[in-house]
Structure 1
Amino acid sequence: MILAGLFLFGMATVEAVRAAELPKFKVDDSPLPASAQPNFTFHPVVEKVAPSVVNIYSTKTVRQLPIWGPFMEDPFFRRFFGIPDDLPRERRERSLGSGVIVSEDGYILTANHVVEGADEIRVALPDGKTEYEARIVGTDPRTDVAVIKVEARNLPAITIADSDKLRVGDVVLAIGNPFGVGQTVTMGIVSAKSRSGLGLDYEDFIQTDAPINPGNSGGALVDVAGRLVGINTAIISRSGGNLGIGFAIPSNLARYVMERLIEDGKVTRGYLGVYIQPITPELARQFDLKDTSGALVADVIDGSPAEDAGLKAGDVILEFDGRKVQDDRHLRLMAAQTRPSTEVRLRILRDGREMSLRVKLGEMPQEGGLARAGRGGLRRGPQADPLDGVVVDDLTPRNRQMFGIPPHVRGALVVEVDPESPAAQQGLQPGDVILEINRRRVTNADEAVRESERIRESTVLLRVWSGGASRYLVIDANRRR
């Protein structure tokens, strides 16, 4: 489970600088006008946008062990082997990236990994003459966004678009400094939206085939009206060069993070306080859902905003403040992009009936508070009984201590699972606590046995406590991982 809440080139340091108020950004959230649709040349767009995209040069000190290994750090061994003491132990590592000027008074958006760990940051304007020393305003590794600042006035700030209105197939331009050759413009389309899986906590990437290469990180992805729709951040490549699969952080996400870093000195995120998991086809059948959209509540954290609002385990969250919830990742992202203390309306499905709840979001704890339960893998097997090979016991003080189970957890402790059984193959293991069987509560081993005797099908829905939180698990005797 992941509590709710790159691999490219570069580096950052965390230095939160408070500001009394936000600078003035130029924002245009209207749909792309028909007059801005592609023409035979993009020269007017590039001429408008290029001055806002800068080169970022960062330097940091890297301590390195000598090639002869850590033992030679000892002066005795160095003298014994005749190794001089004045050999360099540190080196200066330089990195190249890009950034986008977003305010006339010097705020610049870039990717966190471009400036991570940097001792010195310099920003060069595309005129080839002007260069500034920059300071880090704040960074957010969880989204790979960083904000830096130069002391200047009347800079050519870019206009920021509403990235939610970007469509797959729209033409986009990527601007940056690939391989240090100088400012370069490439063209492509939006290949997909809401991509994830690159290892960040909060991911909602725009995928594009506009060529992105080393040095493009932190640069601008713009629409054909010359408005910022994304910050280029990552590629998928076997060679290190462009293969037509690039990713950009949507401008809406980057803007939210930037405003929090400037205004609050840190990124504050909305906190719902539930453990959620994706809805698999198996879970959709168990809960009589039409499809796998939405997020399944596996558990509700005690004292959380979700508990105060009346959310319960087994609820399916369909909408968050009027916006459809695509999946658990999407819900996590929407909650994180909402300011704490905001009251939002949730549309949920409970026992086949839709209802609405209002929740006043809290502030996300540092380690996160909206989590995702893992998917149990499935295998095909010959057994007809989904719980064949599972042995349970009551929760005693001794086995609570043995498995680290807190006092408030009540159910049947799994003490043995046949490795060849459907349950083992689909994720159940000793130390798990069965809380529900086919949505019927169990508080001890006898109740679990009685409920298991009611099973007349090859599939069973369990709610189990495992690893500090609960999740739903479908065990099908006719399927294997």
Structure 2
Amino acid sequence: MLRSPLFLMLVLLAAMLPDRARAATDDLLSAIVRVEALVPADSRTAESLGQERAGNGVVIGPNGLVLTIGYVVLEADRVSITTAKGGSPVPAQVIAYDHDTGLGLVRAASDLGVTPLELGDSTLLKARDRVLVAGFGGAASTQPAYVVSRRTFAGYWEYLLENAVFTSPPYESFAGAALIDSSGRLAGIGSLFIPDAFQAGPSGPVIPGNMFIPVEALVPILDRMIATGRANDTPKPWIGIQLDERSGHLFVRRVSPDSPAALAGLKPDDLVLGVGETATSSLADFYRALWASGDPGSIANIRVLDGLSAKSVEIRTGNRYQYLKLNRTY
């Protein structure tokens, strides 16, 4: 007898999870919700990320506490949450955002009526482990995948994540999707599509996939984020540039308006050589050197190539959270 794709997915899910989760598949997946956000037109990220945003979220605690990817709710002034059980969207409020991890927390204005998904131990995840990627929509929105690598991820927006989880095959609705481990617990939150999630050697085939933020990055800061809206009192210094890494060289691709870098005169296509006396040839090297310059407000000397000679550009670093137009409650 032919079986529907939904039935086959449920069979796969039940086979993948232990007895504890098999009897509660629907409850487990009901924790995956849809998060929609509206961002004012004058927000710093409105042009790059859009004013209307949507993604997945995961209910991880009581009183409608939802974990999602930060860029979906960054600078949002209106947020709503929809559960797979149907009904009208529930208004919600952003209660925390952390740039270092890339995670955001949202709290629904009323009870969502779903069982929170338990946090797992993402430190145990390794290459070749089987996982389940789940978006909003129940079993029909799940996809089996493999962990293909664990490594540092450096983003062009002054972002560095240690021990990120890379999976394949790619999952289309990755933003805020749940990465569920073999015990039926939450192991990560979906962040990006990655064209080179895995490569078998320097000349081997490249396999696309997704990058997930592991919950090990959340666990140490969760209580503080809930209490204060931030992971720590003193953020990393920020200058407001986006960089491209090409064959061991760093080029400025964009300078944020009114940012410390813009005020100091950095411009697109500048070739960045290093920070102070530290030469940098990768995004990770540059960020580590920049963040070692001190707290926000400290001076960072960025060396760039000016014609055939190097020059030093003095930049007074800033506070990203003060630059962004964030709700005062977080």
Normalising by structure 1, report the TM-score.
0.41
The one of 167, 170, 186 aligned to 2:143: 186
The 5 A counterparts of 1:77-92 are none
CA contact (8 A) 1:218 1:231 kept: yes
1:211 aligns with 2:170: yes
Give the letter for the 1:365 counterpart: D
Question: What's the counterpart of residue 230 of structure 1?
Answer: 188
CA contact (8 A) 1:172 1:210 kept: no
Give the letter for the 2:29 counterpart: A
SS of corresponding position for 2:29: helix
Question: What's the counterpart of residue 128 of structure 1?
Answer: 86
CA contact (8 A) 1:126 1:183 kept: no
1:262 aligns with 2:219: no
CA contact (8 A) 2:301 2:313 kept: no
Q: Is there any run of 5+ residues in structure 1 with no aligned partner, and where?
A: 1-37, 64-91, 274-297, 300-312, 315-326, 337-363, 377-417, 432-465, 470-481
Q: Residues 270 and 165 (structure 1 numbering): CA distance in 2 closer, same or farther, change over 3 Å?
A: farther
The 5 A counterparts of 1:131-280 are 131-153=89-111, 155-177=114-136, 184-200=141-157, 201-204=159-162, 205-214=164-173, 216-236=174-194, 244-268=208-232
Q: Residues 272 and 140 (structure 1 numbering): CA distance in 2 closer, same or farther, change over 3 Å?
A: closer
1:118-150 deviation digits (Å, cap 9, x = unpaired): 232110111123631100101123432110101
SS of corresponding position for 1:160: coil
The one of 9, 30, 33 aligned to 1:54: 33
Determine the C-alpha separation between the residues in 2 that align with 1:146 and 1:271.
Answer: 16
The 5 A counterparts of 1:57-456 are 57-62=36-41, 93-129=51-87, 131-153=89-111, 155-177=114-136, 184-200=141-157, 201-204=159-162, 205-214=164-173, 216-236=174-194, 244-268=208-232, 365-366=295-296, 429=310
Determine the C-alpha separation between the residues in 1 that align with 2:76 and 2:69.
Answer: 13
The CA deviation at 1:267 is 2.1
Determine the C-alpha separation between the residues in 2 that align with 1:367 and 1:162.
Answer: 37
SS of corresponding position for 2:208: coil
1:336-371 deviation digits (Å, cap 9, x = unpaired): 9xxxxxxxxxxxxxxxxxxxxxxxxxxx834689x9
Question: What's the counterpart of residue 383 of structure 1?
Answer: none
Determine the C-alpha separation between the residues in 2 that align with 1:122 and 1:220.
Answer: 18
CA contact (8 A) 1:60 1:117 kept: yes
Q: Residues 99 and 172 (structure 1 numbering): CA distance in 2 closer, same or farther, change over 3 Å?
A: same
The CA deviation at 1:252 is 1.3
Q: Residues 269 and 186 (structure 1 numbering): CA distance in 2 closer, same or farther, change over 3 Å?
A: farther
The CA deviation at 1:199 is 2.7
Give the letter for the 2:230 counterpart: K
CA contact (8 A) 1:109 1:258 kept: no
SS of corresponding position for 1:49: helix
Q: Residues 141 and 372 (structure 1 numbering): CA distance in 2 closer, same or farther, change over 3 Å?
A: farther
SS of corresponding position for 2:213: strand
Determine the C-alpha separation between the residues in 2 that align with 1:188 and 1:181.
Answer: 17
Determine the C-alpha separation between the residues in 1 that align with 2:129 and 2:301.
Answer: 32
1:58-104 deviation digits (Å, cap 9, x = unpaired): 223437xxxxxxxxxxxxxxxxxxxxxxxxxxxx9532211011102
Determine the C-alpha separation between the residues in 2 that align with 1:328 and 1:235.
Answer: 23
Determine the C-alpha separation between the residues in 2 that align with 1:255 and 1:330.
Answer: 23
Q: Is there any run of 5+ residues in structure 2 with no aligned partner, and where?
A: 1-12, 43-49, 197-206, 238-274, 279-283, 316-330
Give the letter for the 2:121 counterpart: D
Determine the C-alpha separation between the residues in 2 that align with 1:168 and 1:203.
Answer: 18
The CA deviation at 1:194 is 2.2
Question: What's the counterpart of residue 9 of structure 2?
Answer: none
CA contact (8 A) 2:84 2:138 kept: no
SS of corresponding position for 2:219: helix
Question: What's the counterpart of residue 245 of structure 2?
Answer: none
Determine the C-alpha separation between the residues in 2 that align with 1:127 and 1:245.
Answer: 29
Determine the C-alpha separation between the residues in 2 that align with 1:264 and 1:49.
Answer: 29
1:309-331 deviation digits (Å, cap 9, x = unpaired): xxxx99xxxxxxxxxxxx96998
Determine the C-alpha separation between the residues in 2 that align with 1:258 and 1:57.
Answer: 22
Structure with bigger strand share is 2
Q: Residues 230 and 59 (structure 1 numbering): CA distance in 2 closer, same or farther, change over 3 Å?
A: same
The CA deviation at 1:161 is 1.4
The 5 A counterparts of 1:452-467 are none
1:396-449 deviation digits (Å, cap 9, x = unpaired): xxxxxxxxxxxxxxxxxxxxxx95xxxx7xxxx4x6xxxxxxxxxxxxxxxxxx
